[in-house]
């Protein structure tokens, strides 16, 4: 008889956990997987997918306005039905979650809807099921959860992104606290759907960690779309009144809204998992400590995805899961290269990035060349709109290799996916420039930048 109930038990049925469970099961392993919420995890259920649906819905208001410049007229003012949209969104999410569950079953993995807690390195207790299972190997893929400042007076009146997907009605006034990608995305969503939006961030500019030109450009474009951006300030209190929620800020400003949404970061979901009983250590940031093969400090336990806080993106979790399966069940030690991973912010306008910011490139490579342009996309130039697009390429001067590409504007995420192929391959600026421009497109500007850009402020300093 087998020593354990399973060859592999996976805790968490998000994108990374599901991929690892399916691959191992398809390879003949006895696999169990537990999920305390819905199959699909953050991305499918309460993150990327429903948020992108909301972005699509909110973009139509801007499209209607642009259409008028092309001769379209609307006998009646277009209206948006929040409840109808939320219902349709929930139906689609349920369908996608069902597909994930069905694929697990087809692969032969046992799915358990329960919270799983480690009792030791080989034993998992399934809470609410009065059941304990054992496994030779365990994979933790529990993802992350929103973080809020619990000590803030009135924080109980605030919501996070998870509740934003299920609001009973579209709020008339919203304050979004935070400056990361979730904050700017939801600010654009609510503004596009007709809410009066304030974006509050304690730092000097939004999107910390992104290229400074990207940060400044996006903030300016968001303000053009009617979003009030308050920087270098934060809450001291949220006070509930008979007419709404009063946001009391440390810069003296008080503003009343109907909803306060905190998008102030996410933390690895490790609380109460029993990691310490199994010998699994956390790093200084509270994430599960892993090596390059995603192995934890316990010999038979691995971890992938946001719970390890390496690069918190769904495709990264999936690739980490594939590498785990290759290493553990196929006997082919495989690591995943976390360098030059493309990412997008589905703000309005959207952002697409691959590689290093100018600041980080200078730290890593010393001297760099910068190529940069700002222009009105053809679509908006025709209508007379004042919206601008930003494109920026950062090049290692010593090797001529492109080490960063940054785009802000229409279709930026679509463009950056293909740019990432070239950057990942180590293409030089000279090779990049050999590409013939595709006209008329916005993307052609990427391959027509020939003059090095010098920041006027840096030039003045010299």
As a whole number of angstroms, the distance between CA 365 and CA 396 comes to 6
Do 187 and 139 fall into the same domain? Answer: no
Same domain, 89 and 193: no
Between the alpha carbon of residue 296 and those of residues 41, 174, 303, 415, the distances in Å are 21, 41, 7, 36
- Beta strand 235-240 with 228-231 is unpaired
How many Cβ atoms from other residues are within 10 Å of residue 361's Cβ?
22
Looking at the structure, do residues 128 and 274 belong to the same domain, yes or no?
yes
Q: Are 161 and 46 in contact (CB under 8 A)?
A: yes
State residue 454's pLDDT score: 83
Active site residues: 439
**Domain membership of residue 39 as a residue range:** 6-146+267-329
pLDDT above 70 as % of the chain: 98
**Could you tell me if residue 240 is inside a domain?**
yes
Does 221 lie in the same domain as 97?
no
Question: Do 53 and 141 share a domain, yes or no?
Answer: yes
CA dihedral 162→168→171→175, nearest 10 degrees, is -20
92, part of any domain: yes
- Cα 142 to chain center, whole Å? 16
- Count of domains observed in the chain: 3
Domain for residue 70, yes or no? yes
Q: How far apart are CA 264 and CA 283, in angstroms?
A: 21
What's the gap between Cα 438 and its chain centre? 30
pLDDT tens, residue order, the chain (462 aa): 469 999 999 999 999 999 999 999 999 999 999 999 999 988 999 899 999 999 999 999 999 999 999 999 999 889 999 999 999 999 999 999 999 999 999 999 999 999 999 999 999 999 988 899 999 999 999 999 999 999 999 999 999 999 999 999 999 999 999 999 999 999 999 999 999 999 999 999 999 999 999 999 999 999 999 999 999 999 999 999 999 999 999 999 999 999 999 999 999 999 999 999 999 999 999 999 999 999 999 999 999 999 999 999 999 999 999 999 999 999 999 999 999 999 999 999 999 999 999 999 999 999 999 999 999 999 999 999 999 999 999 999 999 999 999 999 999 999 999 999 999 999 999 999 999 999 999 999 999 999 998 877 665 555
Is-contact 133 6, C-beta < 8 A? yes
Q: Are residues 230 and 271 in the same domain?
A: no
pLDDT at 459: 59
Q: Assess whether the previous peptide bond of 263 is cis (omega < 30° from 0).
A: no
- Cβ–Cβ under 8 Å, residues 140 and 302: yes
Q: What is the CATH number of the domain that holds 249?
A: 3.50.50.60
Tokens 């609410």, residue?
128
95 within a domain of the structure (yes/no): yes
Tell me the three state secondary structure of residue 6.
strand
Q: Would you say residue 180 lies in a domain?
A: yes
Helix axes 181-192, 212-224, angle to 10 degrees: 20
Global pTM value = 0.95
Q: How many CB atoms lie within 10 A of CB 89?
A: 18
- Residue 77 shares a structural domain with residue 131: yes
pLDDT at residue number 370: 97
Residues 321 and 410 placed together within one structural domain of the fold: no
- Dihedral through CA 341, CA 285, CA 43, CA 166, nearest 10? -140
Do residues 323 and 347 both lie within one domain? no
Domain limit, last residue, from 213, 248, 264: 264
Q: Report the sign of the C-alpha dihedral through residues 90, 91, 95, 96, in that order.
A: negative
In this structure, the answer to whether residues 88 and 211 fall within a common structural domain is no
**Placement of tokens 């940054």 in the chain:** 406
Q: Spell out the residues 6+ positions from residue 448 whose beta carbon is closer than 8 angstroms to its own.
A: 437
């Amino acid at each position: 008889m087998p020593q354990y109930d399973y060859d592999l038990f996976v805790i968490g049925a998000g994108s990374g956990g599901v991929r690892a469970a399916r691959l191992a099961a398809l390879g003949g392993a006895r696999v169990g997987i537990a999920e305390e919420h819905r199959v699909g995890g953050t991305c499918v259920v309460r993150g990327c997918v429903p948020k992108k649906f909301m972005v699509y819905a909110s973009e139509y208001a801007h499209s209607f306005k642009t259409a008028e410049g092309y001769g379209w007229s609307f006998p009646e003012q277009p209206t948006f039905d929040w409840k109808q949209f939320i219902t349709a969104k929930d139906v689609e999410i349920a369908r996608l979650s069902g597909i994930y569950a069905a694929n697990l079953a087809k692969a032969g993995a046992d799915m358990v809807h329960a919270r799983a807690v480690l009792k030791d390195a080989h034993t998992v207790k399934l809470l609410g099921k009065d059941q304990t299972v054992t496994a030779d190997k365990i994979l933790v893929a529990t993802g992350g959860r929103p973080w809020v400042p619990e000590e803030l007076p009135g924080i109980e009146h605030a919501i996070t992104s998870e509740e934003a997907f299920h609001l009973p009605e579209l709020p008339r006034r919203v304050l979004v606290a935070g400056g990361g990608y979730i904050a700017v995305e939801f600010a654009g969503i609510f503004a596009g759907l007709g809410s009066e939006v304030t974006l509050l961030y304690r730092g000097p500019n939004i999107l910390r960690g992104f290229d400074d030109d990207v940060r400044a450009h996006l903030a300016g474009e968001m303000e053009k779309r009617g979003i009030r951006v308050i920087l270098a300030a934060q809450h001291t209190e949220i006070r509930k009144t008979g007419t709404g929620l009063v946001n009391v800020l440390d810069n003296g400003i008080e503003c009343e809204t109907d909803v306060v949404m905190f998008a102030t970061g996410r933390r690895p979901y490790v609380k109460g998992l029993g990691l310490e009983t199994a010998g699994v250590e956390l790093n200084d940031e509270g994430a599960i400590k892993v090596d390059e093969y995603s192995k934890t400090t316990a010999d038979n336990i691995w971890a992938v995805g946001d719970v390890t806080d390496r690069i918190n993106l769904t495709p990264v979790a999936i690739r980490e899961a594939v590498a785990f399966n290759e290493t553990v069940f196929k006997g082919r030690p495989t690591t995943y290269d976390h360098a030059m991973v493309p990412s997008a912010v589905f703000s309005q306008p959207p952002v697409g990035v691959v590689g290093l910011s100018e600041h980080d490139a200078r730290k890593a490579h010393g001297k760099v060349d910068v190529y940069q342009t700002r222009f009105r996309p053809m679509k908006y130039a025709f209508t007379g709109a004042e919206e601008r697009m930003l494109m920026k390429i950062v090049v290692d001067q010593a090797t001529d290799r492109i080490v960063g590409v940054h785009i802000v504007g229409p279709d930026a995420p679509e463009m950056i996916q293909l740019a990432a192929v070239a950057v990942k391959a180590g293409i030089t600026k000279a090779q990049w420039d050999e590409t013939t421009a595709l006209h008329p497109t916005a993307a052609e500007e990427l391959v027509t930048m020939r003059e090095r850009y010098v920041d006027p402020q840096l030039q003045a300093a010299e």
